[in-house]
Amino acid sequence: MLFVEGTFRDVLVKVRDMVHSGHKLVTHPLFASSRMMFSPFRTVIVGKEQDGVSPEECQIAEESIISYDNLTARRKRQPEHDGDYAEMDRLLYLASLEEIEMLNSSHVI
Amino acid sequence: MRLEQNLIYIKDVVLGDVNKVEDGVLTVDVEGLKAAVMVDDKVKDVKVDIAKPGEKVRIVPVKDVIEPRFRKDGRNGFPGVTTKYEETGNGAVNILKGAAIVTIGDMVGFQEGVIDMWGEGARWTPFSETFNIVVDITPIDGLDPHQHEVVVRLAGLRASTFVGLAAENAAIDETKVFEIGTMAEETAKYPDLPKVLYVQMNIAQGLLHDTFFYGVDLKEIIPTWFHPFEELDNAVISGNCVAACDKITTYQHQNNALTYDLYDQHGKTINFIGNIFSPELTTLDGKFRNCDYCAKLCDQLGADGVIVSEEGYGNPDSDLVMICKRLEKRGIKTALVTDECSGWDGTSQPLTDTAAEAVAVVSSGNVSKVIDLEPADKVLGNLKSAQTLAGGWDGCVEEDGSLKVELNAVIGATSEIGYHYASVKLY
């Protein structure tokens, strides 16, 4: 577990750097709904370093930053919602773990 | 399949003590409605209000919108969810056209999702034109967010079925008949028309980000071929309520505009051979698997062309582009329908992902467009949620109390299945 002190964007940059250095991108860096993009918290699952760098995963990590910037360019922090955003990020992270469990349940990936 | 939609046009709604329709006026039995919702012992309280087109009423935060209907054949509800599983898409259904159940439920504080019944806000949501029966559900204390979501979701479905009872003996204004046979039958009828499939992507990612087909969570399926009429007949339910502008409400599933348009062209310009769900997952392995499988399914079914609609914004953009690439590589012409996030001035890169193969793309609107919402005379729902709507930037609240919000916040404003008011112009 790696904690990034900073913003959602700082997490995206860290993920981008890790994917470029060979880590597998396991979950997509962005949420699926625009409102969640204003969350100050984001959990992204990356794997161990793999053989070679995946261009497709690098592209997804890069484009996620561009997309995030587009959506949040003029937004200010709304700290009164921090608790709810943290809880939603946690619950969606747990759902991703269940998804990984389903993918792994019959074979090794 | 053959589906008969008996339409009863609703011109007004009043609260009363019996469910009935007379001369286009829908009367709703309020106490009966509350009792139908409170059958769930996790519901502590229910408030029922009416919001009519033109009234200075704001509804927020909207959980779901559902069209009230009645089935004559006994299966009256949502199969696999509120009634036992039964195939949908065949038979006759009476529809209170112009009425809608709007549920309110604030599971998290930052939730938005607004319907304004008047003014600028009304221009952007299709549910400003419906007579809305607004059901505000308070659950018992101590529920976790997952349980809370289930309670509000089911309450909305039960409310719609209860109000739909008014359609049982109402005079029918118009009957629309939809009929499509098996793929073999239709291909024999229209051998020269291109075979077209509709791939519907749906968010399937966890709390407030789920979709259900006959009650089955789409996270747990691989892409599946189904008959378009099943969706039009209560087989699909929305569990989404964070992406207000581009979530597909249950009402929009019941009235999928792309399905209606494709059916309209069936036998004229295309042979419409069905719909496919492609769940939008969170893992890249899951996305690769589903997008590959989806493209293979389209290929196996012999599609010449495919229309793909997205739900949500952000990580689903990757699925959209991956499906497109895979279909085009198989020689299948592909058109995409998606909204875009192109900044306040509309000039930024609109989608998270791009691809050279994505050459036929229809935009359903810019989620970042800023609109003004003037103060409401009455707010149904949560005043705090109404305040949350203000965009969170300098100058987003005017002196007279009006708010500047992005379309993000408005229910159905940029619907990626086309059930909305925004349109596209070529310059």
Average pLDDT over every residue of B37-47: 96
Query: Is the model's pLDDT at B390 over the cut of 80?
Result: no
Region B122-149 average pLDDT = 95
Place of tokens 């229309």: B307
Residue B427 lies in a domain: no
Q: ∠ CA B339-B236-B202 to the nearest 5 degrees?
A: 35
pLDDT for res B385: 75
Question: Of B278, B282, B404, which to mutate for an interface test with A (greatest number of A Cβ within 10 Å)?
Answer: B282
From chain A, pick out residues whose CB is under 8 angstroms from the CB of B316: 32
Per-residue pLDDT tens digits for B81-111? 999 999 999 999 999 999 999 999 877 777 7
Q: State the number of CA atoms in the 13 A half-sphere of B255 facing the CB.
A: 23
At residue B398, does pLDDT exceed 60?
yes
Whether the predicted pLDDT of B244 surpasses 80: yes
pLDDT higher than 70, residue B272: yes
Q: Residues B200, B278: contact at Cβ < 8 Å?
A: yes
Neighbour order of strands in the sheet with B69-71: B69-71, B91-97, B2-9, B174-179
| Tokens coding B344 | 């306040």
Q: Hey, which residues 359-398 in chain B have their CB within 8 Å of chain A?
A: 367-368, 388, 391-394
Q: Is B418 among the domain residues?
A: no
Which B positions 197-236 lie with beta carbon below 8 A of chain A?
A: 203, 205-209, 219-220
Residue B117 in contact with residue B56, Cβ under 8 Å?
yes
Contact B314 A37 (CB under 8 A): yes
What was the pLDDT predicted at B424? 75
More confident residue, B119 or B341: B119
The answer to the question of residue B93 being in a domain is yes
Question: If pLDDT is split at 50, 70 and 90, which confidence band does B1 have?
Answer: very high
- B283 and A103 in contact by Cβ < 8 A? yes
- For chains A and B, CB pairs below 8 A equal 159
* Interchain contact B244–A (C-beta under 8 A): yes
Does any domain span residue B420? no
Q: What is the mean pLDDT of residues B177-206?
A: 96
Across the interface, whether the CB atoms of B242 and A109 are under 8 A apart is answered no
Q: What is the pLDDT of residue B391?
A: 64
The answer on pLDDT for B408 being more than 60 is: yes
Residue B148 lies in a domain: yes
What is each CA distance from B227 to A36, B92, B197, B315, in whole angstroms?
33, 16, 11, 27
Question: In the predicted model, what is the mean pLDDT of residues B127-143?
Answer: 96
Note whether A92 contacts B312, CB cutoff 8 Å. no
**ipTM of the assembly?**
0.90
> Does position B199 have pLDDT exceeding 70, yes or no?
yes
Q: What is residue A52's predicted lDDT score, i.e. its pLDDT?
A: 87
Q: For residue B344, which residues of chain A lie inside 8 Å, CB to CB?
A: 74
**Percentage helix, strand, coil for chain B under 3-state DSSP, each rounded to 5:** 25, 35, 40
Answer whether A28 sits within 8 Å of B112, measured CB to CB: no
Residue B344 pLDDT class (50, 70, 90 cuts)? confident
Dist. CA B392–CA A33, nearest whole Å: 17
Alpha helix segments (H runs only) across A1-109 = 8-20, 55-72, 82-104
CB B381 within 8 A of CB B389: no
Average confidence (pLDDT) over A90-97:
94
| Closest among A66, A84, A62 to B111, alpha carbons compared | A84
pLDDT surpasses 60 at A108: no
| Token representation of residue B392 | 């969170």
Q: Interior CA angle at B30 toward B27 and B36, to 5°?
A: 115
Mean pLDDT is lowest, of A54-58, A105-109, B222-226, B311-315, for A105-109
pLDDT of B260 above 90: yes
Percentage of chain A modeled with pLDDT above 70? 95
What integer pLDDT is reported at residue B215 of this predicted model?
96
For B283, the closest of A27, A66, A91 (CB atoms) is A27
DSSP-derived letter for residue A41 is: -
Instruction: Indicate if the pLDDT at residue A105 is higher than 90.
Output: no
Given this model, what pLDDT does residue A109 score? Answer: 47
pLDDT value at residue B67? 98
What's the structural domain count of chain B?
A: 1
- Which tens digits make up the pLDDT trace of B368-385? 899 999 999 999 988 777
Mean pLDDT of B137-164: 94
Mean pLDDT, chain B, as a whole number? 93
Handedness of CA B302, B212, B336, A9 (dihedral sign): negative
What's the pLDDT score for residue A23?
95
Give the residue numbers spanning the domain of B203.
2-409
Percent of chain B with pLDDT over 70: 99
Residue A106 confidence (pLDDT): 62
Respond yes or no: is residue B294 known to be catalytic: no
pLDDT at B137 over 50: yes
Please say if the pLDDT value at position B395 is more than 80. no
